[in-house]
Amino acid sequence: MRYKSTRGQVSDLSFTEAVLMGLASDGGLLLPESVPDVSEHLEAWQSLSYSELAKNIMGLYIGDIAAAELGGIIDKSYSTFTNEKVTPLNRLGETYILELFHGPTLAFKDVALQFLGNVFEHILKETKGELNIVGATSGDTGSAAIAGVRGKDNINIFIMFPEGKTSELQELQMTSVLDANVHNLAVDGSFDDCQALLKSVFSDLPFKAQYQLGAVNSVNWARILAQIVYFFSAYFQLKEEQPQTHKVDFCVPTGNFGDIFAGYLARKMGLPIDRLILATNANDILARFFKTGRYEREEVNFTHSPAMDIQVSSNFERYLYYALEGSSAKVNEFMESFANTGAASIEFNTPSFDQTFAAGSATNEQTLAAIQEIYEVHGYITDPHTAVGLHVGKTLRRTEVPIIHLSTAHPAKFDAAIKLALPEVHPVHPTLEALKGAKTRKSKLEVDEDALKHFIKKQRAPE
């Protein structure tokens, strides 16, 4: 399998070249040249373990890592999860919840970033190279990325997060990691500011090359690839319980569009997904797009579901490429309009546009109400991001097709929001309890590209 950019100026990359490039050098996002149809394999894959399923799916997209070595990377990546199914499906009455929080940092990002960290390690061992990872996080990506590469040889990681706008525990998970190769940068701004800094620095190609910059954000194709797997796993787990099931909806809490885009690719591969239900909080740029065709930036709203407090979704361009019939010229035109005016539109009556997506949003009040409802009915505590999905899924539910809700983080990571919804309930997890009172380290950073570059230079000079 080879890889190309949505912007049309980069093509014919191997998997490892795509992983190391992260953001395409023409400013676009990397995609596989084709999407394999695996419909005929679904029955055979039904009984596979999670790691074996991952080997079958990822192997279709990875041509430059030997099968045995890839298998070892995958086994190592998922050995860190505390549930043997890695991403178990939990049934609560008629509600299905796919728990994606059984990894080291209790968030769905672990599924991809444990894999990506081990892939980076493999590549650098083969090439005897060095990598300076730069990332931006609205909450969980940072700690998961740090957990994936902390202490690894020849890798440094610089994670930007919006100061005071992640949960206290999310920040603690990052800043309590004191390994010498880990650098946490508290940015005086929003997540979108962090993401803009990231893209700006990666767009400086001489600087990127000189300081060997790598990406762990969902702009990195390996993140999307790893996330495809659990859509298949969820469907197979549902089939074990309901063999008569032929179609399924997935409801995905969405900020950067990476998680739901993985589901979109799973559907293109032949997984019988009927609809992908996109759930946003008050930052509803994506929900508005799928209802109107207009992609328009507004001011960032800070909510009880902070990982979704995003107005510019970095993975949306990947979907746009398919929606615009694979035309890089149209993608460039759309993205240029959005960059210059803060808005761009697509006509929904084009032959290539499908009705795969349904979309909705949840207010803070509706999010808390969803937390209360599932607890009162089932005694189950859910984090606020998953609760956004539960609210939207409830409004868009159809009785004839089951919905699998993606649960993106352990509720103990968001104790402030849980306390508002359930004052008498205090979710805990030993991993998080062990962090309290830990020594921390972080550096303040203004929203300035030169300041970020200076920090990277100061910490790691090139050979």
**Residues with catalytic function:** 109
CA-angle at 308, arms to 142 and 19, nearest 5°: 45
- Contact between residue 18 and residue 61 where contact means Cβ atoms under 8 Å apart: no
| Three-state secondary structure call for residue 24 | coil
Closest CA to 132 of 157, 159, 151, 160: 157
Question: Up-side HSE of residue 105: CA atoms within 13 Å toward CB?
Answer: 30
Q: How far apart are CA 21 and CA 31, in angstroms?
A: 12
Stretch (H or E) spanning 131: strand 131-136
Handedness of CA 182, 383, 223, 310 (dihedral sign): negative
Q: How far apart are CA 375 and CA 21, in angstroms?
A: 44
- Contact between residue 378 and residue 92 where contact means Cβ atoms under 8 Å apart: yes
In 10 A of CB 451, how many CB atoms? 14
- Contact between residue 120 and residue 415 where contact means Cβ atoms under 8 Å apart: no
Q: Angle between the 384-396 and 364-378 helix axes, to the nearest 10 degrees?
A: 90
Q: How far apart are CA 285 and CA 312, in angstroms?
A: 8
Q: How far apart are CA 139 and CA 170, in angstroms?
A: 6
Stretch (H or E) spanning 404: strand 403-407
Structure tokens belonging to residue 60: 């279709």
What ranges in 269-383 are assigned the alpha helix state H?
Answer: 285-292, 316-323, 328-341, 364-378
CA-angle at 312, arms to 106 and 346, nearest 5°: 125
DSSP 137-188: -SSHHHHHHHHHHTT-TTEEEEEEEETT-S-HHHHHHHHT---TTEEEEEES
In eight-state DSSP terms, residue 257 is: S
Q: How far apart are CA 416 and CA 379, in angstroms?
A: 19
Stretch (H or E) spanning 235: helix 221-241
- Contact between residue 136 and residue 171 where contact means Cβ atoms under 8 Å apart: no
